[in-house]
């Protein structure tokens, strides 16, 4: 295996991973800010979405929204 992996080689492989994470994060953030009511304070969810990688947006999608009632 090549010892000095080129960053330019690395980028196209890793890009989709970052891209999907970014999409999930931005999407969760938009929904969170647009939501009339969230379960728990909005700013808390925003912080969780931004700082907890992957699990943050997922947790918001699963538990953060109130769709019932």
Partner 1 sequence: MTSGAARYFAMAQKELLELVRSFKLLWVPLVFVLLGIMQPVSMYYMPLILEKAGNMPVGSVIEIPMPLGAEVLAQTLQQFGTLGLLVLVLAGMGTVSAERNSGAAALILVKPVSSFSYIASKWTSLLLLAWGSLTAGYLSSWYYTSLLIGEVDASRVLGSLLVYGLWLSFALALTLLFSTLLRSPAAAAFSALGASAALSLLAGVFPKQAGWLPGSLSGFAYQIASSGSAGSDRFGWSLACTAAAIAGSLLLAGQSLKRSASVD
Partner 2 sequence: MSVPLLEVNGLSKTFGSVQAVGGIDFLICEGRCVALLGPNGAGKTTTIRIIAGLLKQSAGTVGFVDGDHVGTGGNRAMIGYLPQAPSFYNWMTGLEYVVYAGRLCGLPRSHAVSRAKELLERVGLNAAAKRRIGSYSGGMKQRLGLAQALVHRPKLLVLDEPVSALDPIGRREVLELLQELKRETTVLFSTHVLPDAEELCDDVIIINKGAIALQGNIAEIRSRYRQPVIELELERDEPSLKWADAFAERHRSGTNVSSQTAGLIYDVSRQGASVRFSVTEVDAAREQLLGELAAEKVRVSRLQVGYTSLEDLFMKVVSL
Nearest distance from C-beta of residue 62 to partner 2, angstroms: 16
List residues bridging with 38 in a β-sheet. Answer: 65
- Give me 47's structure tokens: 């912080």
Residue with tokens 């304070």: 41
* Partner interacting with residue 36 (select from partner 1, partner 2, none; CB below 5-8 Å by kind): partner 2
Which residues make up the interface to partner 2 (CB under 8 A)?
36, 67-69
- List the alpha helices (DSSP H) in 1-69: 7-34, 42-51, 55-59
How far apart are CB 44 and partner 1 at their closest, in Å?
A: 19
Q: Does 17 bind partner 1 (CB under 8 A)?
A: yes
């Amino acid at each position: 295996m090549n010892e000095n992996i080129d960053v330019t080689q690395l980028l196209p492989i890793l890009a989709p991973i970052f891209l999907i994470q970014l999409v999930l994060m931005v999407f969760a953030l938009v929904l969170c800010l647009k939501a009339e009511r969230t379960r728990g304070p909005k700013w808390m969810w925003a912080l969780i979405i931004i700082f907890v990688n992957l699990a943050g947006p997922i947790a918001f999608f699963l538990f953060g929204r109130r769709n019932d009632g």
